[in-house]
Amino acid sequence: MARPDGPAGPGGGLPLNRRLYEALRRAMLDGRLSAGDRLPSSRELAQDLRLSRNTVVAALEQLGAEGYLISRVGSGTYVHDQLPQTVPVARRGGAGATTRLPGLSARGRVLAEHYGARELEIQPFTPGTADFSAFPVALWQRLQNRHWRSARPEMLDYTTSGGYGPLRRAVADYLRVSRSVRLDPEQVLITTGTQQSLELCARLLADAGDTVWIEDPAYWGAIKAFTACGLRLQPIPVDAEGLAPPATADATPRLIYVTPSHQYPTGAVMSLVRRRALLAQAARADAWVLEDDYDSEFRFDGAPIASLAGLDDDGRVCYLGTFSKVLYPGLKLGYLVAPRGLVEAFRQAHYDLHRPGQLPLQAALAEFIEMGHFAAALRRTRQTYAGRRAQLLHALAPLLDAEGVHITGAAQGLHLCLRLPLTVDDRAVADALAAEGISVRPLSAYCLQRRDLRGLLIGYGYAQPAQIEPSARRIVAAVRRALH
């Protein structure tokens, strides 16, 4: 294996432990390291790669925390048997291999063929990606080990209660204080993340063929989840105040999916007037509102925006959240606040469909929160992202003199949206930057029916400070070429 410190490629500018992490992770996802393969010891790797042992250990610990590696006492470190995999998606401009696969249903073909993301892979400027390199891996391992050593037999079984009790109480306390959600701990279900929460809501609250109002442009993961459940998508345009439902729509919705605190991908914040109108419209239609509050923790200009669920007097809002943006993606733990009258139905369906478990992991997270480490991690990451955001805004400022160019969504979250005139082909600009190793995403690719949006989604969560200015100069140059 080559020493991962060359100047070229996506590792350039990253600390050595991060470069080694990326190289090993990519080797596992590409199949060059297969499930069950044994890795050399950290000492052997350090000698072979001419790196310090601490550098190697840090990379291996991160991969272990994310589920890529597993350590067996007295035997060594192995690639996990259930290796996390990236999901292949069809690329724009060509026929996907899935179109030739026999046996897929019509719904299966839609899921397999439609554009979701250019690649489900962490890159410095990918929108929505958090930097988990500072996650306290050693502390996390100690907490997990303690709960594994003391695990009672019932902690190793499935759970019918919706999750580990202390974790559900900790989530309820956090949401009451920081997000103004009115709830009891019994309403909290621990899921594997937002995708599972969306699927559970879709299956319990709607039937195949029912209509779901979805933001346009939209989060591709929600599109996939609703499509998999056989729902009819009704795109509703988003403006500067968030979802803008028309007075009359093609169909009465059964579900309304929104990201009101920081719309993905435009970054719009739903106004109070629009929030109240949406809740009133949901009541008239007897519809359920699914509030995805995916990165509400990271607001840089003032206190976090209160949740839509905090305004809900009728119990129509299902509130969805995740721990992955503050901690690390591979944690795969999120939460769903179910409507009060349907809690038992949600628990039963969650058990029957998903057989939830991982109680020792949930117990470690509950202790992590109770000891104040979650709050400390949130403060640290918010400060880190605020600095990177300021750097990126400063570096992009020369573009803002051009007609039709402006920035939205920069007050919160892990990305901003550089809006461009309709004369610019944002997909071509994104492709040109990808050829230079800069992974941004075209705004038009998130649109369902709209043809009036152009822009670039630029993430700063995973971008290291040393990368931001030189990469932003390339973005500025590429956009200027497209403008002229």
Which CATH class name applies to 138-373?
Answer: alpha beta
More confident residue, 101 or 440: 440
> For residue 291, what pLDDT is reported?
97
pLDDT band of residue 137 (cuts 50, 70, 90) is: confident
pTM for the model stands at: 0.76
Residue 403 in this model has a pLDDT that exceeds 50: yes
Rounded to an integer, the average pLDDT of 308-337 is 90
Rounded to an integer, the average pLDDT of 289-315 is 84
CATH number of the structural domain 16-79: 1.10.10.10
Q: What is the pLDDT of residues 411-426, one digit of tens each?
A: 888 899 999 999 999 9
d(CA 409, CA 419): 10
Q: What is the pLDDT of residues 146-203, one digit of tens each?
A: 888 887 887 787 788 889 999 999 999 999 988 889 999 999 999 999 999 999 999 9
Most confident option among 45-49, 80-84, 339-343:
339-343
More confident residue, 335 or 85: 335
Q: Where are the domains of the chain?
A: 16-79, 86-115, 138-373, 376-483
> For residue 189, what pLDDT is reported?
97
d(CA 179, CA 318): 14
Q: How far is CA 155 from CA 149, 160, 190, 237, in A?
A: 11, 12, 15, 46
Helix H, strand E, coil C: the string for the chain is CCCCCCCCCCCCCCCHHHHHHHHHHHHHHHCCCCCCCEECCHHHHHHHHCCCHHHHHHHHHHHHHCCCEEEECCCEEEECCCCCCCCCCCCCCCCCHHHHCCCCCHHHHHHHHCCCCCCCCCCCCCCCCCCCCCCCHHHHHHHHHHHHHCCCHHHHCCCCCCCCHHHHHHHHHHHHHHCCCCCCHHHEEEECCHHHHHHHHHHHHCCCCCEEEEEECCCHHHHHHHHHCCCEEEEEEEECCEECCCCCCCCCCCEEEECCCCCCCCCCCCCHHHHHHHHHHHHHHCCEEEEECCCCCCECCCCCCCCCHHHCCCCCEEEEEECCCCCCHHHCCEEEECCHHHHHHHHHHHHHHHCCCCHHHHHHHHHHHHCCHHHHHHHHHHHHHHHHHHHHHHHHHHHHHCCCCEEECCCECCEEEEECCCCCCHHHHHHHHHHCCCCCEEHHHHCCCCCCCCEEEEECCCCCHHHHHHHHHHHHHHHHHHHC
> For residue 358, what pLDDT is reported?
86
> For residue 332, what pLDDT is reported?
87
> For residue 88, what pLDDT is reported?
36
- Mean of per-residue pLDDT scores for the chain: 85
pLDDT band of residue 76 (cuts 50, 70, 90) is: confident
d(CA 81, CA 75): 15
> Superfamily for 376-483?
Aspartate Aminotransferase, domain 1 (3.90.1150.10)
Written as six digits, the tokens of 338 are 């179910």
Of 127, 380, 107, 398, the closest CA to residue 264 belongs to 127
Q: Which residues fall within 8 angstroms of residue 196, CB to CB, at 6 or more apart? A: 334, 354
